Amino acid sequence: MTNKKPSINDIAKHLNVAKSTVSFIINGKAEAHRISKKQEQRVLEYIKEIGYKPNYMAKSLATGKTNSIGLIVENIGDSFFGPIALMIEERAKKSGYRIIYSSTRNNTNDALSVLQLFKDTHVDGFIIAPPVKMEEGVKKVINDKVPVVIFDRMLEGVKTDYVGTNNREVVEEACAHLLEQKFKRIAFISLASPQSQMQERLDGYLHTMRKKKQTPIVLQMRYDVDREGYRNEIIHFLQNNPDVDAVFFATNYLCISGLEAIREIGKKIPDEIGIIAFDEHDLFRLFSPSITAIVQPLEQLSATIVKILLNRIDKGTIEPYQYITVPSTLVIRESSVKKKLK
Amino acid sequence: MTNKKPSINDIAKHLNVAKSTVSFIINGKAEAHRISKKQEQRVLEYIKEIGYKPNYMAKSLATGKTNSIGLIVENIGDSFFGPIALMIEERAKKSGYRIIYSSTRNNTNDALSVLQLFKDTHVDGFIIAPPVKMEEGVKKVINDKVPVVIFDRMLEGVKTDYVGTNNREVVEEACAHLLEQKFKRIAFISLASPQSQMQERLDGYLHTMRKKKQTPIVLQMRYDVDREGYRNEIIHFLQNNPDVDAVFFATNYLCISGLEAIREIGKKIPDEIGIIAFDEHDLFRLFSPSITAIVQPLEQLSATIVKILLNRIDKGTIEPYQYITVPSTLVIRESSVKKKLK
DNA sequence: CTGAAAGCGCTTACAG
DNA sequence: CTGAAAGCGCTTACAG
């Protein structure tokens, strides 16, 4: 018993067989290489006895596979990407893949450099919620035959798999609901972001407003601001638009800043101002009044993302790319239902 | 221009120098090996020209280092570990380390198997918030000279670095604050968990109660229950203990279930029941009334964890192990301050 | 059915 | 100052 870890070579020598024989047996290819049952038993037993563990780095060097996936998101600590990261990892683990993650905080340069770094370390595939201007970087990766699944927001002109939700349709549903509740002046508060999911949400809003002959009122804030900044800007906006009687918030954290703003200026939800948020948050269930929200099916999104990526990794990248949208649900709570109507 | 990635060998051949020379130059050891400036320039320029990227797997195989760290937490999607994961990754990245994560959901067997898996893939070190009964597994890893930093909860008898907060002291401070506010019957609602941080929080509570001659009232729930289950058990508890006029919740999610329970039975916060939670949550700032909470210094915790681990990785494991507690802050809000006293 | 050998792309004593 | 060579621990054609 030395304390050096045993290698395939050691096993082969000890058992007087060839390295290749051992390797085949370990990898379950004994049958395919017509190795005798007896031989296989002998090797398997010895492996168990000495507690042999293959060296993954050597294996990776020889095969070019690392069994790891790079996950690049906006912020792994937030209430959307965090749970997604949890579910993605749990599913990937079942298929023997590890997840390496990085948060971009929407910084394109950081995202590009981490993309390159992960690629240099030979991840087998990527799951990316990209910041803007990532098109070229992602294309390069795909060109080098590394599979990429984009999620949450699309990348224009990048041919690869995408998984997202039906932003536009569900926002239309939400806005229609507000109108039904007799809210008249519905504002849309969002980020000045060209990202596809934000554009789709805006489209849904504008489309419904136009269809119902309402005048849109849109606030698009810079996205490099902190919570305090959003709050102040929303206060300002609501004061300048006193006739606004409902707000659709394009993300959950904007809604949280919005709630702080509304508290500050003292408007009553829902009778003086109706509220709907995109994406769920613990707060929304418990807030008084509870907040109507569009809830994305996180489990289903994660499952789809992982399934598609693993399929690409296994089978290469032949079939047509998939564009999948999993529908979200409008969960109606108190903040969008006028008490007088009840 | 073939499409095969250039290797050190290719460079050496092309430039008519030895592989070792190229390797030394790439790794900045040109000087140490007294390689001529001219030679160095020539190699560096060529590398740049062809866009050479070292193969990390080969490098890892040769050196035994992977520049990766295994992060094992309870749930990367929750409001404590998520932000911690964000900060840990950002700091590790600056020093050239990647993070591979896994969530245990407090399942010891899952945690042990992922610990083994990460170890087999040769992570350079571990950051672990361990479930119970991980002592032996972690010891084995440490014995094999892989550095481990434990955080959030300690592991009895495991000699390694630990980073946590001053659970006991800050809970004492919180309980003293409730007593000052003339709350009489303070209950402590927690999980039936032998984990150290939970024990310390309980100790802080019991100690203060005893010192002030108050009778402790403790509810310890099973920790394999869902939010609904917690809520129901808390309702039950509060109904059976109608004289309880304040509750200290040992975690933020228990507090959230508690708020649902309190809403259900219709008690008024803070005048009929005072509330304090351990750990911050978005909800607590915005809830009406806002909820007093013990806030852990996440930035400082993450920074300390990463610093200690990288130090161990670089310098080996010679100096005595560190046991570091970073103090938390009691943020007093409306839920623990009686209006009548104001 | 099994084995000898080359190869994956690095690092690092060692010799000169 | 620089180069030839062994080694890290696997996989996989290829030969028999």
A1: confidence class by pLDDT, cuts 50, 70, 90 = very low
Decide if B122 touches A, using CB distance below 8 A.
yes
Shared-domain flag, residues A134 and A205: no
Shared-domain flag, residues B178 and B276: yes
Shared-domain flag, residues B212 and B268: yes
The span from the CA of A86 to the CA of A90, in Å, is 6
The helix/strand/coil state of A75 is coil
- Total count of residues recorded for chain B: 342
Contacts of B281 in chain A (CB under 8 A): 282
Residue A25 has pLDDT above 90, yes or no: no
Q: Average pLDDT over chain A, rounded to whole?
A: 93
Number of domains in chain A: 3
Shared-domain flag, residues B142 and B291: no
Decide if B52 touches A, using CB distance below 8 A.
no
Placement of tokens 């079942």 in the chain: A94
E-only strand ranges, B65-153:
68-73, 98-103, 125-128, 148-151
The predicted structure's pLDDT at residue A28: 81
Mutation for B interface: A76, A78, A117, most B CBs within 10 A: A76
Shared-domain flag, residues A76 and A35: no
Closest CA of chain B from A211, distance in Å: 35
Residue A1 lies inside a defined structural domain of this protein: no
> Which residues on adjacent β-strands are paired with residue B317?
none
Range 218-257 of B in CB contact (< 8 A) with A? 256
Nucleotide lying nearest to A30, CA to C1' measure: C1
The predicted structure's pLDDT at residue B10: 82
Residue B2 lies inside a defined structural domain of this protein: no
Residue B3 lies inside a defined structural domain of this protein: no
Residue A149 has pLDDT above 50, yes or no: yes
Contacts of B282 in chain A (CB under 8 A): 79, 256, 281-283
What CATH number does the domain containing B41 carry?
Answer: 1.10.260
The span from the CA of B272 to the CA of B338, in Å, is 9
Inter-chain residue contact B77 with A87, CB threshold 8 Å: yes
The predicted structure's pLDDT at residue B8: 86
What mean pLDDT do residues A282-311 have?
96
Report the percent of chain A where pLDDT is more than 70: 97
A331: confidence class by pLDDT, cuts 50, 70, 90 = very high
Inter-chain residue contact A83 with B77, CB threshold 8 Å: yes
Pick the residue from chain B with its C-alpha nearest to A282: B283
Contacts of A90 in chain B (CB under 8 A): 103
- A288, A270, A301, A290: which is closest to A331 by C-alpha? A290
> Which residues on adjacent β-strands are paired with residue A220?
A190
Q: How many CB atoms lie within 10 A of CB A105?
A: 14
Which runs of consecutive H residues, i.e. helices, occur in B121-195? Answer: 135-143, 167-180
pLDDT digits (tens, 9 = 90+) for A135-144: 999 999 999 9
Q: Please, which positions of strand D sit below 7 A from a protein CB?
A: 1-14
Residue B1 lies inside a defined structural domain of this protein: no
Residue A60 lies inside a defined structural domain of this protein: no
Closest CA of chain B from A105, distance in Å: 10
Residue B43 token pair:
């190699």
What CATH number does the domain containing B208 carry?
Answer: 3.40.50.2300
Per-10-residue mean pLDDT, chain B, length 342: 69 82 84 79 86 90 94 96 98 96 96 96 96 96 95 95 98 97 96 95 97 96 90 97 97 96 94 97 92 98 97 82 97 91 50
8 A C-beta contact, residue A138 and residue A128: yes
Inter-chain residue contact B121 with A98, CB threshold 8 Å: yes
Q: How many CB atoms lie within 10 A of CB B245?
A: 20
Contacts of B61 in chain A (CB under 8 A): 55, 57-58, 61
Shared-domain flag, residues B334 and B258: yes
Mutation for B interface: A2, A86, A127, most B CBs within 10 A: A86
Question: Considering only A101-115, A140-154, A235-249, B42-56, which range has the smallest mean pLDDT?
Answer: B42-56
Residue A199 has pLDDT above 50, yes or no: yes
Residue B60 lies inside a defined structural domain of this protein: no
Distances (CA, A) of A44 to A30, A56, A285, B78, B196: 11, 19, 55, 42, 41
Shared-domain flag, residues A244 and A269: yes
The predicted structure's pLDDT at residue B2: 41
Shared-domain flag, residues A277 and A305: no
* Domain, as residue range, for B316: 66-165+298-327
Shared-domain flag, residues B282 and B304: no
The span from the CA of A109 to the CA of A341, in Å, is 51
Asked whether residue A8's C-beta has any atom of DNA/RNA strand D within 7 A, the reply is yes
Cis amide leading into B289 (omega within 30)? yes
Q: Which backbone phi and psi does B48 adopt, to 5 degrees? A: -65, -45
Decide if A85 touches B, using CB distance below 8 A.
yes
Report the percent of chain A where pLDDT is more than 90: 78
Amino acid (1-letter code) at residue B24: F
Distances (CA, A) of A331 to A251, A334, B175: 15, 10, 38
Inter-chain residue contact B286 with A114, CB threshold 8 Å: no
Residue A18 lies inside a defined structural domain of this protein: yes
Shared-domain flag, residues B194 and B233: yes
> Which secondary-structure segment (H or E) carries A17?
none
Decide if A124 touches B, using CB distance below 8 A.
no
Residue A149 lies inside a defined structural domain of this protein: yes
The predicted structure's pLDDT at residue A213: 94
Cis amide leading into A147 (omega within 30)? no
> Which secondary-structure segment (H or E) carries A163?
strand A161-165
The predicted structure's pLDDT at residue A332: 98
Closest CA of chain A from B207, distance in Å: 32
Inter-chain residue contact B53 with A120, CB threshold 8 Å: yes
Shared-domain flag, residues B235 and B91: no
Calculate the angstrom distance between C1' of C8 and CA of B59: 11
Shared-domain flag, residues B142 and B92: yes
Nucleotide lying nearest to B60, CA to C1' measure: C10
Decide if A79 touches B, using CB distance below 8 A.
yes
Q: Which backbone phi and psi does A186 adopt, to 5 degrees? A: -95, 120
Asked whether residue B239's C-beta has any atom of DNA/RNA strand C within 7 A, the reply is no
